[in-house]
């Protein structure tokens, strides 16, 4: 399905939906309005995953419950609803009962789905050695361990008992049919005791036991079900995750840390205020190669919870994201330093490839079958895995060092960049991951690892569908690559793509910005290379990208290139494995996946060509070659068949080249018919008598004397002459020759092995002595090259040991013919010709014109056929190999010499049949017919030879010429006389003069003479046309149909060109592109290795920042020039985002966020509902709670009224009795209200009804920007630079 069909289907679906809604509106307008409103709410919910309602699973569960309750309410209680009639006839209680059942059912169903998602198996991870110890060994270690006297009885439990205890507590907390909110309200103390017991088990576990428990317990479900309660010391979720992610993170293995990050992602980071800082602490506590392994294992879990999603989607704080990315860059620099110094770690690192393989999916991993918008490749059917692609992934990941086979305990480095847009949650990613899982489990060659996936977005996909522009797809893939490189700066990257859409343009963007990270680019050709979007060979050659790019059609060719470049990307043994996998992949394609036998035959031939080239290289290196793919035999020996050269008998078969040895009967047709009828009559006669004649099947066909055998010879054949004996010669003496590929794609290999002649042939025999072309379809004869150059068919007469011309006689020949040209045998018949009377009647019956008109039409057709294509030198033409310019038209040989101007520069010698004038076609013909009037029709009264000569040579002696160097006159014109043949012969030795001499009269030398300017006739004409205000092309269109429009446009352009812009306001023409992207803004507060500072300016040419270093007093003591990696944003000492702080102005608030590009701290003041924008030195310290926040104490809940800095005491007003409590920070807990939902597309009143507190109802309207203020330091920092 192409783009037009897809647009028609989309338009039809839209029209159908619109008509359905209009019909529904006409019948039930109120119900339809409610339904449309609910559908809009659902669309907004699904399309905006960044809104607050998606921050916690509890919020989503309440949304679905409320949504379906409202939908049920609209169906029951709306007057014109089709369901209201049924409920109106019954008691009103039935409607409330149905609403309750629907709400409770949706609530329970959503909880069950989410529970299944939390407990899903992690597919791609492999446990490390410390986490996968046997139970006996760990239990023995627990029994022999020295237990603290303060530890409880749980310290002596075995691993099975501890795991069983955690499962029992989870069953008590998580009731299947009772919501967690109701269960916590009814059995709060019981729930809290079970949560505390789970925490104590993790707290008392030994390091090895802790890692074993994390790898076997359903950690994500534990984090989700353990809640933060409002009671004092009841924030159990925070306490548990703080224990694992901060207190005991050093005891965790890499595998346990990956599971911990995954559990936090499944819980959703916005569900807890400190989740992002826990992620930051886990990553920052991992270093060097362990950090690389942590990131890679996070990406190979088999779901869309990858490291890219964690850093760029789940983490909302820019400061946390910047800290993590800065840590990645620093650790990558340390790893590179080890490699440069050749340390022991470097020798261990060299055993791995340290290469990320990025690949497209459609038309790169699997064929799209030409299905829009997935791709355009129709060579294979849809969803067919390309032969050899999986092996190439594996070998590129292995590299040239280390083990020969990919280790089973290692994770791979395969990542797919897909243009398919990301939809709600992992709706679109599930399809790809299920495909990857099938490729992991299939027989034969399989994926060596579970890959990661970076999907596109709806905006780029929508723009591509509407405008058919590949640029948005390319930019989205480049954006994904840019984020991926920031996560993996220590790796090199190889991008494998196709040239069907915007992947090649994306590869160019990758190289432009990250030339050191993009190691190589492999492009799978699914269309002609000149049609590739964004590919310009000259531009790529100047950049140096062309040296790092490989264009290929079959993956063994890509592997061959990767093994032969310097330095190689894969090993020679890896090349052999790729070839083996390619042959196995081809055999695994099901018969139902081939649209026709010819498709399979063509792909087999194409792949065999690639394997043959690889075998040539393997044989030169002393490696064992790979057997080529054999073609199944369809015709047995002795079976009669029909070929494109006539009827024949099968004599042999070559399964590699798919060539049949066919004994072809080239006798006259009437003779063949008589012989066939005689055989049929003999067969019927023997059947009647019951005698089986064995000799009839092997009877040799007789030959007759033929006057002219050239009528029966195909021009696309090749022969070898040998003895004139009557018996056929075996294949061991055959001299097979071949045919090149023609423009229609036919590939033949044909040879003669003998003739059956009769003596006394009196007719003269023609001789043929042309040369033979090599067969590109036969791997054994292929020597390299594309095989796309069209070579005229030829006939050979060469034979080993006999160099004499071939004389054709009467007989039968043996030819080698490809299987696609051999069909089922059909008896020979004479052509049926209608009589003249029938032809007249037929023409009268079906003719709608008069006889004269028909005759004239036939004459016109015949005239058009006889008319030859006349092309002049310099004319642009189109060919199957691209566009070009005509150099010479050889009419005798019907050959046109063309200089190619497409992706490559070459000179081609092509037939007239495949060369077309540029702009040929209906529209081009009409335009040429309109615009060519002036050029073809002469003016009236201007037909004399002299006037024609003057028009062709307007620059006679004394003619005025205005050149760019000044005005002058012609002093040496070109000769107007046409020399005769004798004159030409006499002047052949003289030098030809093709320039004119112009004396510049505006210039005068010291001797009084004028300088002489030499130019060609065409240059002089261009100067004349420019002086007269017209160009050569517009001059030809003076009398055309579009002369009025052309005059208007040219006049407007000429008038605009005369407008002069003053020099003082004229814009510069040279555009300087920034080589480095700026991150920190002017005035940003940063921290460096030399102390705190402020950014003053940025140099885009080298990426250096000018930073003023500050003393503690705030004075500048030095100026440093640093790069981005040497700096970080400055955070107030001892403060963290999301926690209360004390400001310099005596106000306490919550540090909401920090802008890393400016260093500005955004502090919310709860007491007055204002927002402060402060510098780091204006934030004094971190507090336990800010004034106006809710806290939980031993005596109940309360609110902080005041903070005393002198003695570090908080004044808390309790909610009961109005009592006042003066407490220290360790005696109360802060209640974080950020989990509360306060927004969301005008449905906050619904969610607040289900999740609200009395304190919030007293606050009134939400705070606006009008009651916020900004406090800035008195330093030289402007407000504009900070915001």
Provide the mean pLDDT of the chain: 75
| Neighbour-count burial for 630-652, b at 16+ CB within 10 Å, e otherwise | ebeebbeeeebbbbebbbbbbbe
Residue with structure tokens 């939390």?
118
CA proximity to 1083, closest of 1283, 802, 902, 1262: 1283
Percentage of the chain lying above the pLDDT 90 cut: 23
CA proximity to 307, closest of 141, 149, 489, 435: 489
> Rounded to whole angstroms, how far apart are CA atoms 669 and 830?
7
What tens digit of pLDDT does each residue of 544-561 get? 999 999 999 999 999 999
Lowest mean per-residue pLDDT among 77-81, 341-345, 814-818, 1003-1007: 1003-1007
pLDDT grade for 132, boundaries at 50, 70 and 90:
very low
pLDDT grade for 853, boundaries at 50, 70 and 90:
very low
Segment 569-588 mean pLDDT: 93
What tens digit of pLDDT does each residue of 60-109 get? 888 899 999 999 888 888 888 877 756 565 556 777 888 889 988 998 89
Report which of residues 295 and 849 the model is more confident about.
295
What tens digit of pLDDT does each residue of 483-524 get? 999 999 999 999 999 998 899 999 999 999 899 999 999 999
pLDDT grade for 396, boundaries at 50, 70 and 90:
very high
**CB atoms closer than 10 angstroms to residue 1198:** 24
What tens digit of pLDDT does each residue of 445-465 get? 888 889 999 988 888 888 888
- CA distances (Å), 435 to each of 383, 581, 718, 973, in order? 10, 19, 49, 76
What tens digit of pLDDT does each residue of 320-353 get? 998 999 999 999 999 988 888 888 888 888 888 8
Question: What letter would DSSP give residue 487?
Answer: H
Pairing outcome for strands 812-818 and 659-665? antiparallel
Lowest mean per-residue pLDDT among 116-125, 778-787, 902-911: 778-787
Lowest mean per-residue pLDDT among 435-439, 658-662, 963-967: 963-967
Q: How many residues does the chain have?
A: 1283
Q: Is residue 967 within a helix (H) or strand (E), and if so which, with residue range?
A: strand 966-972
Q: Where are the alpha helices (DSSP H) in 1005-1150?
A: 1017-1027, 1032-1036, 1043-1057
Segment 370-389 mean pLDDT: 90
**CB atoms closer than 10 angstroms to residue 118:** 19
- 3-class DSSP state of 906: strand
> Rounded to whole angstroms, how far apart are CA atoms 1160 and 1129?
9
Report which of residues 1119 and 420 the model is more confident about.
1119
CA quadruple 1217, 1220, 1223, 1226: dihedral sign: positive
> Rounded to whole angstroms, how far apart are CA atoms 1061 and 1066?
6
Angle at 1002 between CA 1001 and CA 1005, to 5 degrees: 80
**Res. 764: pLDDT tops 60:** no
> Rounded to whole angstroms, how far apart are CA atoms 1070 and 1073?
10
Lowest mean per-residue pLDDT among 89-93, 130-134, 646-650, 771-775: 771-775
Query: What's the pLDDT at 904?
Result: 66
**Res. 201: pLDDT tops 50:** yes
**Res. 417: pLDDT tops 70:** yes
Angle at 985 between CA 980 and CA 986, to 5 degrees: 95
CA proximity to 29, closest of 81, 105, 94, 75: 81
Pairing outcome for strands 1104-1110 and 1148-1154? unpaired
User: What is the model's pTM?
Assistant: 0.68
Query: What's the pLDDT at 511?
Result: 93
Query: What's the pLDDT at 123?
Result: 65
E strands along 609-700, which residues? Answer: 640-643, 646-654, 659-665
Segment 216-238 mean pLDDT: 86
Report which of residues 427 and 477 the model is more confident about.
477
Strands ordered across the beta sheet of 452-456: 452-456, 414-421, 355-359, 492-498, 518-524, 549-552
What tens digit of pLDDT does each residue of 782-809 get? 333 433 433 333 333 333 333 333 333 4
Query: What's the pLDDT at 263?
Result: 92
Query: What's the pLDDT at 1145?
Result: 87
> Rounded to whole angstroms, how far apart are CA atoms 733 and 814?
12
pLDDT grade for 240, boundaries at 50, 70 and 90:
very high
CA proximity to 742, closest of 682, 774, 790, 706: 790
**Res. 10: pLDDT tops 50:** yes
């Amino acid at each position: 399905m192409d783009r037009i069909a897809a647009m028609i289907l989309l338009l039809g679906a839209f029209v159908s939906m619109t008509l359905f809604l209009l019909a529904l509106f006409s019948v039930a307008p109120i119900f339809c309005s409610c339904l449309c409103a609910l559908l809009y709410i659902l669309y907004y919910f699904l399309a905006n995953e960044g809104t607050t309602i998606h921050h916690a699973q509890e919020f989503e569960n309440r949304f679905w419950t409320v949504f379906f309750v409202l939908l049920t309410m609209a169906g029951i209680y709306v007057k014109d609803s089709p369901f209201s009639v049924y409920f109106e006839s019954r008691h009103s209680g039935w409607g409330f009962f149905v609403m309750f059942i629907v709400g409770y059912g949706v609530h329970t169903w959503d909880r069950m789905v989410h529970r299944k998602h939390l407990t899903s198996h992690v597919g791609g991870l492999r446990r490390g050695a410390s986490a996968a110890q046997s139970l006996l060994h760990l239990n023995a270690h627990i029994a022999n361990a020295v237990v603290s006297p303060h530890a409880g009885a749980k310290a002596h439990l075995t691993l099975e008992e501890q795991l069983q205890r955690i499962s029992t507590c989870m069953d008590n907390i998580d009731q299947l049919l009772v919501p967690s909110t109701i269960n916590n309200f009814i059995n709060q103390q019981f729930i809290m005791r079970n949560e505390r017991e789970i925490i104590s088990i993790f707290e008392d576990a030994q390091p090895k036991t802790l890692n074993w428990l994390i790898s076997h317990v359903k950690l994500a479900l534990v984090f989700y079900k353990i809640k933060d309660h409002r009671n004092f010391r009841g924030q159990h979720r925070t306490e548990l995750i703080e224990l694992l992610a901060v207190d005991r993170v050093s005891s965790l293995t890499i595998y346990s840390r990956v599971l911990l990050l995954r559990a936090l992602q499944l819980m959703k980071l916005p569900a807890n205020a400190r989740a992002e800082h826990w992620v930051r602490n886990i990553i920052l506590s991992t270093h060097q190669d362990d950090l690389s392994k942590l990131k890679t294992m996070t990406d190979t879990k088999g779901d869309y919870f990858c490291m890219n999603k964690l850093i760029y989607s789940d983490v909302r704080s820019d400061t946390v994201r910047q800290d993590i990315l800065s840590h990645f860059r620093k650790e990558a620099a340390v790893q590179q330093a080890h490699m440069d110094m050749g340390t022991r770690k470097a020798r261990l690192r060299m055993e791995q490839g340290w290469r990320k393989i990025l690949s497209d999916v459609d038309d790169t991993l699997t064929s799209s079958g030409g299905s829009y918008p997935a791709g355009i490749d129709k060579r294979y059917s849809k969803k067919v895995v390309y032969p050899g692609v999986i092996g190439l992934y594996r070998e590129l990941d292995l590299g040239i060092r280390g083990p020969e086979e990919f280790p089973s305990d290692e994770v791979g480095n395969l990542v797919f960049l897909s243009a398919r847009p990301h939809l709600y949650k992992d709706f679109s990613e599930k399809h790809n991951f299920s495909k990857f899982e099938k490729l992991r489990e299939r027989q034969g060659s399989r994926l060596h690892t579970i890959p990661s996936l970076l999907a596109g977005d709806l905006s780029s996909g929508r723009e591509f569908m509407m405008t058919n522009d590949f640029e948005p797809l390319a930019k989205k893939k480049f954006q994904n690559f840019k984020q991926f490189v920031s996560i993996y700066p220590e790796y090199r990257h190889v991008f494998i793509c196709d040239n069907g859409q915007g992947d090649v343009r994306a590869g160019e963007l990758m190289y432009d910005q990250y030339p050191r990270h993009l190691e190589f680019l492999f492009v799978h050709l699914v269309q002609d290379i000149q049609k590739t979007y964004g590919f310009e060979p000259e531009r790529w050659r100047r950049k140096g990208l062309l040296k790092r790019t490989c264009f290929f059609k079959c993956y063994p060719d890509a592997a061959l290139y990767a093994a032969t470049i310097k330095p190689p990307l894969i090993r020679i043994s890896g090349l052999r494995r790729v070839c083996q996998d390619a042959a196995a992949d081809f055999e695994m394609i099901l018969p139902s996946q081939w649209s026709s036998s010819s498709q399979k035959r063509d792909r087999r031939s194409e792949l065999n060509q690639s394997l043959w080239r690889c075998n040539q290289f393997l044989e030169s290196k002393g490696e064992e070659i790979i057997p080529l793919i054999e073609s199944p035999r369809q015709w047995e020996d002795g079976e009669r068949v029909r070929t494109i050269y006539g009827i024949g008998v099968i004599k042999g078969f070559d399964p590699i080249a798919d060539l049949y040895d066919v004994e072809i009967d080239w006798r006259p047709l009437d003779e063949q018919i008589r012989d066939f009828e005689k055989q049929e009559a003999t067969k019927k006669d023997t059947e009647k008598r019951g005698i089986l004649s064995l000799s009839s099947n092997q009877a040799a066909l007789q030959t007759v004397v033929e006057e002219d055998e050239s009528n029966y010879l195909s021009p696309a054949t090749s022969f070898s002459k040998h003895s004139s004996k009557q018996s056929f010669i075996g294949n061991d003496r055959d001299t097979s020759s071949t045919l090149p590929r023609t423009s229609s794609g036919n590939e033949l290999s044909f040879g003669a092995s003998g003739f059956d002649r009769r003596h006394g042939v009196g007719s003269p025999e023609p001789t043929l002595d042309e040369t033979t072309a090599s067969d590109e379809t036969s791997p054994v004869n292929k020597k390299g090259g594309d095989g796309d150059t069209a070579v005229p068919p030829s006939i050979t007469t060469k034979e080993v040991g006999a160099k004499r011309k071939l004389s054709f006689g009467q007989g039968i020949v043996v030819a080698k013919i490809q299987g696609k040209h051999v069909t089922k045998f059909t008896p020979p018949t004479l052509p049926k010709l209608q009589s003249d009377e029938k032809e007249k009647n037929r023409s009268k019956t079906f003719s709608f014109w008069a006889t004269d008109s028909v005759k004239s039409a036939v004459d016109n057709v015949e005239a058009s056929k006889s008319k030859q294509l006349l092309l002049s030198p310099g004319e642009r033409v189109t060919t199957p190999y691209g566009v070009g310019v005509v150099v010479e038209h050889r009419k005798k040989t019907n050959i046109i010499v063309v200089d190619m101007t497409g992706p490559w520069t070459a000179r081609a010698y092509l037939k007239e049949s495949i060369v077309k004038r540029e702009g040929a076609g209906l529209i081009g013909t009409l335009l040429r017919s309109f615009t060519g009037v002036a050029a073809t029709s002469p003016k009236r009264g201007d037909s004399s030879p002299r006037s024609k000569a003057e028009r062709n040579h307007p620059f006679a002696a004394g003619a005025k010429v205005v050149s760019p160097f000044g005005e002058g006159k012609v002093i040496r014109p070109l000769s107007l006389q046409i020399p005769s043949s004798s004159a030409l012969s006499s002047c052949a030795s003289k030098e030809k003069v093709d320039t004119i001499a112009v004396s510049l009269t505006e210039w005068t030398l010291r001797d009084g003479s004028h300088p002489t300017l030499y130019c060609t006739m065409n240059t002089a004409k261009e100067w004349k046309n420019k002086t007269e205000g017209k160009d050569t092309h517009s001059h030809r269109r003076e009398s055309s149909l579009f002369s009025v429009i052309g005059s208007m446009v040219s006049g407007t352009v000429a008038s605009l060109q005369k407008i002069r812009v003053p020099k003082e306001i004229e814009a510069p023409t040279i555009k300087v592109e920034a080589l480095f992207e700026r991150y920190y803004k002017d005035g940003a507060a940063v921290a460096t290795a030399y102390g705190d500072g402020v950014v003053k300016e940025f140099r885009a040419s080298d990426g250096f920042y000018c930073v003023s270093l500050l003393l503690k007093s705030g004075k500048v003591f030095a100026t440093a020039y640093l790069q981005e990696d040497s700096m970080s944003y400055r955070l107030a000492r001892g403060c963290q985002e999301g926690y209360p702080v004390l400001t310099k102005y005596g106000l306490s608030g919550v540090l909401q966020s920090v802008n890393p590009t400016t260093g500005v701290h955004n502090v919310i003041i709860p007491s007055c509902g204002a927002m402060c924008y402060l510098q780091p030195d204006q934030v004094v310290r971190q507090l336990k709670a800010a004034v106006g926040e809710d806290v939980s104490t031993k005596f109940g809940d309360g609110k902080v009224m005041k903070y005393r800095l002198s003695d570090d005491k908080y004044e808390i007003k309790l909610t009961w009795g109005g009592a006042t409590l003066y407490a220290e920070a360790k005696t109360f807990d802060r209640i974080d209200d950020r989990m509360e939902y306060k927004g969301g597309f005008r449905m906050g009143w619904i969610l607040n009804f289900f999740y609200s507190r009395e304190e919030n109802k007293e606050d009134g309207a939400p705070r606006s920007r009008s009651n916020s203020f900004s406090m800035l330091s008195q330093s030289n920092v402007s407000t504009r630079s900070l915001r």
